């Protein structure tokens, strides 16, 4: 068994300039924790694989294609591969999201 404490992991360099930490990464899955402070957003992107967004804390607005929804903690959003997506925190509280991509992408997401 391996136990990973996110506080022990460095913030990864990312084009969104957000607190993103790679919790787990192997040949089949990638798991990242994204912390969105009030007013912060993920730049729109297109992922080559499905992105699963599990909202652990707070509320975020997720856009996948033409659909825009406010999503609260405890919900899982499936953003299909090849479709533009973004998320942002328009609340007054910090939001914490687990971003899971499986299979692990072999190419980078396209930033829009």
Instruction: Note whether residue 83 is domain-resident.
Output: yes
| CATH for 81 | 2.60.120.10
The whole-number pLDDT of residue 29 equals 94
Closest C-alpha among 41, 54, 37, 39 to residue 14: 41
Instruction: Note whether residue 24 is domain-resident.
Output: yes
The whole-number pLDDT of residue 58 equals 98
Beta partners for 84? Answer: 46
When divided into structural domains, the chain yields a total of: 1
Instruction: Note whether residue 100 is domain-resident.
Output: yes
The whole-number pLDDT of residue 105 equals 87
Sheet containing strand 19-25, edge to edge, reads: 19-25, 30-36, 95-101, 51-57, 76-79
Res. 104: pLDDT tops 90: no
Instruction: Note whether residue 1 is domain-resident.
Output: no
With 0.75 as the threshold, say if the pTM is over it: yes
Domain that holds residue 107: 6-111
Res. 106: pLDDT tops 90: no
State pLDDT tens for residues 8-58. Answer: 999 999 999 999 999 999 989 999 999 999 999 999 999 999 999 999 999
């Amino acid at each position: 068994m391996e136990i990973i404490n996110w506080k022990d992991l460095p913030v990864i360099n990312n084009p969104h300039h957000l607190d993103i930490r790679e919790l787990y990464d192997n040949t089949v899955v990638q798991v990242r924790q994204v912390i969105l402070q009030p007013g912060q957003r993920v730049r729109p992107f297109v992922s080559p694989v499905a992105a699963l967004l599990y909202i652990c804390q707070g509320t975020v607005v997720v856009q996948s294609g033409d659909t825009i929804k406010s999503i609260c903690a405890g919900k899982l959003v499936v953003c299909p591969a090849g479709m533009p997506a973004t998320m942002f925190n328009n609340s007054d509280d910090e939001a914490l999201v687990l971003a899971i991509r499986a299979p692990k992408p072999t190419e980078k997401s396209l930033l829009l």
